[in-house]
Chain A
Amino acid sequence: MISARGLCRSYDDGERGQVRVLDDVSFDVQPGEFVAVVGRSGSGKSTLLHVLGGLDTGYRGEVSVAGTALSGLSDAALARFRNEQVGFVFQSFHLVQGLSARDNVALPSFFSPVPPVDAEARAIEALARVGLEGKAERLPSQLSGGERQRVAIARALFARPKVLLCDEPTGNLDAATSEQVVALFTELNKGGLTVLAVTHEDRLRRAASRVLTLVEGKLS
């Protein structure tokens, strides 16, 4: 499902010059796997996630996700890839203020070349999967932190992606809510969804079927 070969990513860090964040990273993730990527802050976890999700294009190496080779894709093709093949869950939820929970979930349909005719129903269905079907009309400001993250997860599931990419998804949640979110990922994974989560948290790491550890940009 995911294949990375010889991934390298460097940043120009002014005073320190070129900083290599990913250094010859290669790995595979099989369909239906639940992989946790762990490592200290600055080890390249989020960068790896952004490269795999087609958000970061300044890398060297080969990446293939859900059968799509990302290297050399145009901006429009990458946008379509993100729209259809992967779902993102971020630590800070990143919901659009002013849009209801349902509209936030349906946000990918706003940018779909062929928006589904049943976008609203599909958004409600995604909200139901995370247990929020009763709060579809609420604005983000009317939801708790855990609820906002579940809306963000529903948004990631909206396009029925093959891969879920999560960046510290429980980082802003309390222990109880965090446990619920991890349980949700486990359930989704059992349903066949491939999950790759960058995390610091033991609970999420324990839920994963495999753990990749990044140390100073290298897989150990």
Chain B
Amino acid sequence: MNGRSLRRLVRLNLSRERRASVSSVFGVGVGIASLVFFVALGLGVGRVVREQVFPVDASLVEVVPSQLSLGLLGGKLDQAAVDRLAALPGVEAAYRKMSVRVPAVSFYDGDFFGRRLRMGIEVLAVGVDPDFVKQDVQLGDFGDPGEGKPIPAVAATRLIEIYNKSFAQSRGLPQLSATMLTGFTFPVDWNRSFVAEVKPGPMTRGQLQVVGVSDRGLLAGVVIPLDAARRINRASGVDAATFTGVALKAVEPSKVPGIVEGVKAMGLRVDDQERRMAENAGAAVAITTSAMALLSLLICVLAAFNIAHALSASVRARERELGVMRAVGASRRDVFGLVMAEASVLGLFGGAGGTLLALAAASGVDMLAARVLPEFPFKPDSFFVVPPWLVAGGVALGVLAAVAGAFLPARRASAIDPARVLAGQVG
């Protein structure tokens, strides 16, 4: 059968059975709409978790010293251990980290972006090799400026988000951006604390100057140049030789398992707490999304049954007509193709309509969320991600559901015995 004839017959049959056709399209549309909606929601929430809440770099391995001292066998993160780590197969770079090993507080009393601010806060600081955050440094070269000068500090993107969406709102403080913060300087007293025990060494005064905001920043503190951390530790009389961590950058994510094995063989530990939290959160999102998607697939299956039922009835009602078509030259394959084409059109309309409905619903939810939901950390502009494959998949699944439902009715239609249905009786 040629395409033009097929189109005409399909249009004719579907328009004659408009009510059943609309019902079939509706069934497929509801299934596809819910499927696309929940998958897009899962992808959107997953993206927020992956990129904002737990921005884990898949090619980074965080190495920390062993909790047990292994003596000569290892467990300590000194320069020799760092050199061995950097030499592991698959390692592109090793970034040393050293916490400032004394507590620190900041007393701020002055203008804070147009508001008067007077407060004291505990400060955590970790020194890192400058290359670790250099891509996010907006001011200077992120080196230790030496005694008496403000130490460059990089804040965490997440810290700014949490400040903006919760702390600032509850305290009536201004919203901050990376650009605004860059250059902001605040005082710090090293080896001083409101809550923790201070070290025997002296308390020293200094300043921190924000020079950038980075995903690699410390969630509850700031990142400063490694040499500055060393200097502060040395001045406070604490360990300034060993490192509190090393971030190993793998050549590619697939090399990470081998690197982890190498790290363990050296008697060191891998700190994958952040990665695990990201994985757990991602898994929770994936499970919830999968459950909803499964429910939606069930609706698609029901839609397929609905189409099977509708087309079976249609084929029964059209037995003689199909018999006439056989008599004037239709083959079994033509009849099979005709019924399948009818189902494909129903599925196409259902799939496309359902996908459009899902996109409209997603837009509606985003608009509602923007108006009704209060601001909270990591609240995205859109809760949904709709990649092209999801749109194409929604339409394709609609067609697939309809075609699957139509298979048996189409087989039955193609098996109609024209001699029987046209004669009405044997004689």
Residues of A near any B CB (own CB < 8 A): 11, 21, 41-47, 50, 53, 55-56, 75-76, 78-80, 82-84, 88, 90, 92, 94-99, 103, 107-112, 115, 155, 159, 167
Contacts and interface: CB of A to CB of B under 8 A. Distances in A.
Chain A CB within 10 Å, residue with most, of B332, B422, B427: B427
B418 interface: yes
Contact of B334 (A79, A84, A98): A79
Contact of B427 (A47, A55, A82, A94): A47
Contact of B328 (A92, A99, A108): A108
A83 B329 contact: yes
Interface stretch (B2-10, B63-71, B202-210): B2-10
Nearest to B423: A46
B330 A79 contact: yes
Contacts of B422: 50, 55, 88, 90, 94, 167
B323 interface: yes
A88 B426 contact: no
11 contacts: A42-B426, A46-B423, A46-B427, A55-B419, A92-B320, A94-B320, A98-B16, A107-B325, A110-B2, A110-B330, A111-B1
Contact of B333 (A42, A50, A76, A97): A76
A112 B2 CA distance: 8
Given A42-B427, A46-B427, A115 B328 contact: no
A155 B427 CA distance: 24
A193 B320 CA distance: 27
B418 A55 contact: yes
Nearest to A90: B422
A47 B328 contact: no
B220 interface: no
B327 A88 contact: yes
B331 interface: yes
Given A11-B426, A41-B427, A47-B419, A99 B12 contact: yes
A88 to B, nearest CB: 5
Interface residues of B, number: 31
Contacts of B425: 41, 46
B357 interface: no
Interface of B: 1-2, 5, 8-9, 12, 15-16, 320-321, 323-334, 417-419, 422-427
A215 to B, nearest CB: 13
A-B interface, 3 closest residue pairs, ranked by CB to CB distance from nearest: A83-B329, A110-B5, A79-B331
A96 B328 CA distance: 12
Contact of B325 (A103, A109, A111, A159): A111
A84 B328 CA distance: 9
A92 B325 CA distance: 14
A97 B16 contact: yes
B424 A109 contact: no
B419 A155 contact: no
Contacts of A112: 2, 329
Nearest to B422: A90
Nearest to B321: A96
B184 to A, nearest CB: 76
A18 to B, nearest CB: 13
Contacts of A55: 326-327, 418-419, 422
A198 to B, nearest CB: 9
Contact of B2 (A46, A84, A115): A115
Contact of A110 (B9, B16, B417, B426): B9
A173 B144 CA distance: 108
Contact of A45 (B5, B330, B427): B427
Given A94-B320, A96-B325, 14 more contacts: A44-B427, A47-B426, A56-B417, A79-B326, A88-B327, A88-B328, A90-B422, A92-B424, A94-B323, A94-B422, A96-B321, A108-B328, A110-B5, A111-B1
Nearest to B16: A98
B8 A110 contact: yes
B329 A111 contact: yes
Given A55-B418, A96-B321, A50 B332 contact: no
A161 to B, nearest CB: 10
Given A55-B422, A97-B16, A43 B427 contact: yes
A74 to B, nearest CB: 9
Given A82-B329, A98-B12, A111-B328, A50 B321 contact: no
Contacts of B332: 75, 79
B18 to A, nearest CB: 12
A46 B426 CA distance: 7
A84 B427 CA distance: 26
Contact of A111 (B330, B418, B419): B330
Chain B CB within 10 Å, residue with most, of A78, A95, A96: A96
Contacts of B419: 46-47, 50, 55-56
A166 to B, nearest CB: 12
